[in-house]
Structure 1
Amino acid sequence: MTKQNAVSVREQVSAEEWQMRVDLAACYNLVAHYGWDDLIFTHISARVPGPEHHFLINPYGLMFDEVSASSLVKVDLQGNRVMPSEYEINPAGFTIHSAVHEARDDAKCVIHLHTKEGVAVSAQKDGLLAISQQSLFPLSGLSYHEYEGVALNPEEKVRLVADLGETQFMILRNHGLLTCADSVADAFLNMFILQRACEVQLLAQSGGSELIMVPDAIVAGIKQAAQQVTRNAGGKLAWPGLLRKLERIQAPYAQ
């Protein structure tokens, strides 16, 4: 994507949409930086500010560290492009995202990943265990969705939305992780915490010793803290520092 093209896209959209494009592209670059990407096969989407139900998603074929604000594709709920783009999108990827966006007005950003640790925990019968402080935040509002194959069936959208309910954290069995929130920053922080909880769980299990479970009373009491930390200032506090990290590695998110 040339600089001229980048300016052209910026001139075609509102300031609010451009900011959402920058934040979403930064999220893609951060996922690549942390090694959570799966080549080109997972997705992060965000709703474009405004009355239209339009969304931004990655160009199918670009690696996550290549995604920029200008290269993101704008589509409607059916996955049709509503702004000229040289790129296509992955229909299987948008099936999951469109379902969440359509059902949840608060889900401005949806992140779905296939991290090694996330898939490993998703395949465990007991799922995420209350064995770390990191696990408690997702466990305060965690849902599960059973595996139904590659997400191409529109009928699965109804079941996925029903399973998600009002939660912001979901484990898709035998598949991966999903988080959502009303901002890119909060959705990313949710994923960071959920991913870290999965990493810690696998490390603890590999030690071979009996695990100490956090008491149910403490798990229940974390809900108030989870709301305060992950839904209020949490993501917004961490986000500027994450953007500075991307600047240091010359990531293309703002182009």
Structure 2
Amino acid sequence: MNFRKNLKKDDFSALEWEQRVNLAACYRLVSQYGWDDLIFTHISARVPGPEHHFLINPYGMLFEEITASSLVKVDLEGKKVEQNEYDINPAGFTIHSAIHAGREDAQCVLHVHSVNGVAVSAQQKGVLPLSQQSIFVLSSLGYHDYEGVALRDEEKPRLVADLADNNFLMLRNHGLLTVADSIPDAFLFMYLFEATCMIQVRAQAGGGPLIPIDERIIATAQAQAAAVTKQAGGNLAWPALLRKLDRNNPGYDQ
């Protein structure tokens, strides 16, 4: 799909273009890993600079189609600040604008309706300490009760309060959300979140007794994560993920 031919890399600052490329790559990776829901979820990222602007997907494009220049730039009121023939998902704006406004460190907010994630979000006890992946999620996890499709501004303060200072948020009966100070970290967190849910659903399907992980191990999870990634977090895997995209779905950086 080709549109806005008048905009290209040179029309943006170097920092904004880098953010656009990484966000477009993130959309395509979410599609590649099978976490997308046609056109109905969303990932947003702050635009570097003093303005309160952020980038989000053009509503109507598949995640596998999104490019750096096709992303829609909006302000915290959801108004487009540059020409784009596409609108944005109103529910996406409600969720993302609330978190970007409430969390200064929320450089990227990633939300999916993955099948495993929704399945666990419908379970009363939520995420269980059953896997190595789960300890990283449980060390920074909040829950938000379902209030219908996220269209009402009155839900925003409850959403932000339930997220608190966590990196993971389970939206009950709805899906998964991660927040990070970079796009690579938000993606890594979602990888862990979805893997946690997939493992839990499969373990439960086995029908036998489950072995929970000791809470004392969960308490040290963040220190363990820093050691495993050499303090680099998602940035350690991000270049390899971009190489994977370059092989399988190039063009995100256009």
Which range, TM-score by smaller chain?
A: over 0.9
Identity percentage of aligned residues? 61
User: Residue 253 of structure 1 corresponds to which residue in structure 2?
Assistant: 252
User: Residue 75 of structure 2 corresponds to which residue in structure 1?
Assistant: 76
The 5 A counterparts of 1:73-222 are 73-222=72-221
SS of match in other structure, 1:111 = strand
Q: For residue 95 of structure 1, what is the amino acid of its counterpart? A: T
Deviation at 1:78, TM superposition (A): 0.8
- Separation (CA, whole Å) in 2 of partners of 1:116 and 1:208: 20
Deviation at 1:231, TM superposition (A): 9.8
User: Residue 32 of structure 2 corresponds to which residue in structure 1?
Assistant: 33
Task: Say if 2:112 and 2:176, in contact at 8 Å, map to a contact too.
Answer: yes
Unaligned runs of 5+ in 1: none
SS of match in other structure, 2:237 = helix
Deviation at 1:250, TM superposition (A): 3.0
Deviation at 1:2, TM superposition (A): 4.3
- Separation (CA, whole Å) in 1 of partners of 2:24 and 2:106: 17
Task: Say if 2:98 and 2:160, in contact at 8 Å, map to a contact too.
Answer: yes
Moved >3 Å (runs of 4+): 1-4, 226-232
- Separation (CA, whole Å) in 2 of partners of 1:182 and 1:71: 23
Change (3 A) 1:42 1:164: same
Deviation string 1:126-157 (CA, Å, 9 cap, x unpaired) is: 00000100000010010000000000010100
Q: For residue 199 of structure 2, what is the amino acid of its counterpart? A: V
Deviation at 1:11, TM superposition (A): 2.1
Instruction: Count residues in correspondence.
Output: 254
- Separation (CA, whole Å) in 2 of partners of 1:180 and 1:8: 29
Q: Bigger CA drift: 182-191 or 212-221?
A: 212-221
Change (3 A) 1:112 1:229: farther
- Separation (CA, whole Å) in 2 of partners of 1:156 and 1:230: 36
- Separation (CA, whole Å) in 1 of partners of 2:230 and 2:140: 12
Unaligned runs of 5+ in 2: none
- Separation (CA, whole Å) in 2 of partners of 1:166 and 1:20: 23
Change (3 A) 1:158 1:44: same
Deviation string 1:62-108 (CA, Å, 9 cap, x unpaired) is: 00000000100000001100011111111111100000000111110
Change (3 A) 1:228 1:80: farther
